Structure 1
Amino acid sequence: MSDASAVTVAVLDDLRQESEELDLLVAGADAARWAGPTPAEGWTVAHQIAHLHWTDRVALIAVTEPDAFAAEVEKALAHPGTFVDEAAGELVALLPPGELLTRWREGRDRLRAALGAAPPGVKFPWYGPPMSVASMATARLMETWAHGQDVADALGVTRTPTARLRHVARIGVRARGYAYLVRGMQAPEEEFRVELDTPDGGTVAFGPEDAPQRVTGPLLDFCLLVTQRAHRDDLAVRAVGPDADRWLDIAQAFAGPAGPGRAPKRGAAGRGDAE
């Protein structure tokens, strides 16, 4: 097995584990909890699972019928800023929780199988830049973790951070240029150094060691930031340099329009200001 194939297998296995962890949270929830609000305005727990199911479904189209995926892009362009909410809302209105859960399970299994069977080096179309097998799997893991965080918050569950967060951080770093692009801004040419402390006492790092502009902090906090699940002022993420500081205000790990983010829970004194 090549190094690239080994990476793909590892990411797909991590995606499976991330999905199963979220599955355990919602499988035992009653109808009232499925209908309960999450931190995403207007979205219930059911909306979160519906969104994951819908995204898995369109990702499967991108993987197995790339030409047909163009129609999905046209739908998004026809309803910019609302197509994601509309898709989730339609599924919630159509399917009771049990059926929605079953379809999410079946859909994510089909997508994972299709990604595992894809030929090496292939690129799939997406709402942002085209994606490789590993990138698509990482993006699905990132979204599963992020929406799983909303579900966990809604259910009052504190999740234990896992090593799978390194995938979320990696896609957050790699999406730096995209975060500028969707805001009509020019991304800085120089790379930043990103050093993140893992829960087990280790470090996950990206970018050149001698980069003058840097981002540091806990791995979990950085992942919450780039998935816009928490406001920067509530996180222990610090920036050194004006460009790195600006990036932390706009960072997003997901494709599509710039997200609105979350309101701060405490004052600006909690911010890791740039040095």
Structure 2
Amino acid sequence: MSPRNLPEPSFARTRLGTGPGLLLAHGAGSSLANTYGPILEGLATRHTIVGIDYPGSGDTPRSTTPLSVDDLADQLVAAADAEGLDRFAVSGFSLGGSVAIRTAARHPERVTALVLTAAFPYRDNRLALASSVWRKIAASGDRELLAEFLIMVAVGTQVLESMSSEQLQETLRFAAATAADGSPEQADLVSRLDVRDDLAGIKAPTLVISTTDDWVTSTALHRQLAETIPGAQLAEIATGHLPMLERTDEWLQLITDFLGKHNT
């Protein structure tokens, strides 16, 4: 068990499936269901899935104070404890990738593998600008404008340009309806994040999945993760920032193949 004193688990959590433990850390402005929903059943056929919703996502109340990646990582492990998981792989998407990295850094004896998708070790200039605009729009309460911004930057070029006007409007309505209430705080955390000092000490086998048409997190950030984490593997997927929508089956296959090779 981890020697760290963990907090009481206070975030809404989900448990599914049977098999080796797999923790899921979702993206900013989203939720566990919206990040991993399309592949949850596929993951749960081989793993005991435990995931949390950050403050302001899902059923977790919004935070009145700035978020901390340490707190998110410790809450993820506290949820694993509450569900009886001692050791586990961790899959993190975007902001969740940084949460997964910090989880492995703070609880190395418990993490058996990492899968980092569209993840980043810190915010580069593009991500700093995007997270600032994102936070301000989200704080304004204009959900339609927020949806337009998010779809413009998050959906890959090929998929976006293949949409009919009706499909685009439907996608915008969905994005507006499902944006997390805690988006301002979560986007603020993105703007402050820096887990670069954690990378060289990661011991767990790691797969970095690079989303190659991503306007939110750049392929340079993905490569930095793969080049700095010892022994990390790099896989590419031809998608924008949303592989769960654009390349669902391919994303699931990459994750399950890697975890299967490491018996986790």
Normalising by structure 1, report the TM-score.
Answer: 0.26
Q: Which has the higher strand share?
A: 2
Q: Which has the higher helix share?
A: 1
Greater relative contact order: 1 or 2 (C-alpha under 8 angstroms, separation 6 or more)?
A: 2
Structure showing greater radius of gyration is 1
Normalising by structure 2, report the TM-score.
Answer: 0.27
